[in-house]
Structure 1
Amino acid sequence: MWYMILEESHFLKSLYNEIPDLDNVRIEGIYIKEEGRKVTLHFDMPFYAENPPKKWANLGYNSIALQVDFFDIHSLEMKTSSDTYRGNIEITKDEQGLLDINVTGEINAKIKADTGFIQSINGYINEAV
């Protein structure tokens, strides 16, 4: 599963009974940082968690956003066909142990990186849901 090859996935694992695949997710953005050495992927989970923190429930949150940072980028390709970004995100490892990140949908991106970290997991109220 995609989350098992990322660092700092403990909190994410506690939120879900079974962590979903990243199919048809809203992609907030793909950010190139540190002169291309770091790429940040910011996206919503496909559905809300079964085990949210009480604070999130009390605040009426209905969506979860993740920020995942990828470091030591070997390659990056990006193409978009829309001004809104929805797509499927697949994160795997190749034969050399590098992360392969493939985004397909209204935005298409391919990223190859040494490592990936879940930097933040935030609940929020998505008015569109």
Structure 2
Amino acid sequence: MPPLQGVKLFEVSVNREGPSMRLRLDLAAYPENPPKKWSAQGFNVVHVELYFGGVDSVRMAGISVNPVVDISLRRGEKISLEVRSPEVNVSATADSVHILRMQAHADEEPAG
């Protein structure tokens, strides 16, 4: 898993099916050795979508139009998620976490 500090958070969504939760974010740093396809297309940002299944608790406080957050994941009996910034705080516990999608794109203001 790449570092999840200083990431741009785009979406936190909770769904009663599962119940589940999804986070969409741009990583703070572009990989040193990206796939050739990404380099050839001039991409400079990696977008990740995380899926949490079997969510049994969620707490959210604050909102921002452009939050830059630090995310931590800990494994115990459950997966513990903490999303923190001065404006946004999210915590949750879930049975599992998966990377649903990882793709690159070009951004005028590159991450990292």
Instruction: Give TM-score scaled by structure 2 length.
Output: 0.89
The answer to whether the Cα contact below 8 Å between 2:69 and 2:83 also exists between their aligned partners in 1 is yes
Aligned pair partner of 2:66 in 81, 84, 93: 84
Alignment of 1:18-97 (within 5 A): 19=2, 21-35=3-17, 37-94=19-76, 97=77
Alignment of 1:98-109 (within 5 A): 98-105=78-85, 106-109=87-90
Q: Deviations over 1:7-65 (max 9, x none)?
A: xxxxxxxxxxxx3x211110011111244701001111110011211111011000001
* Secondary structure of 1:89 counterpart: strand
Aligned pair partner of 1:115 in 87, 93, 96: 96
List alignment gaps of at least 5 residues for structure 1: 4-18
Once superposed, which parts of structure 1, at least 4 consecutive aligned residues long, lie more than 4 Å away?
Answer: none
| Aligned-partner Cα distance in 2 for 1:80–1:24 | 17
| Aligned-partner Cα distance in 1 for 2:104–2:16 | 27
| Aligned-partner Cα distance in 1 for 2:66–2:28 | 16
Q: What is the identity, as a one-letter code, of the residue corresponding to 1:102?
A: E
Corresponding pairs, count: 109
Over the matched positions of the two proteins, sequence identity in percent amounts to: 26
Offset at residue 81 of structure 1 (A): 4.3
Q: What is the identity, as a one-letter code, of the residue corresponding to 1:123?
A: A
Q: Deviations over 1:76-128 (max 9, x none)?
A: 0111142222110000023xx20000000031100100001101100001122
Q: What is the identity, as a one-letter code, of the residue corresponding to 2:11?
A: G
* Secondary structure of 2:95 counterpart: strand
List alignment gaps of at least 5 residues for structure 2: none
| Aligned-partner Cα distance in 2 for 1:53–1:36 | 33
Instruction: Give TM-score scaled by structure 1 length.
Output: 0.78
* Secondary structure of 2:6 counterpart: strand
| Aligned-partner Cα distance in 2 for 1:41–1:57 | 25
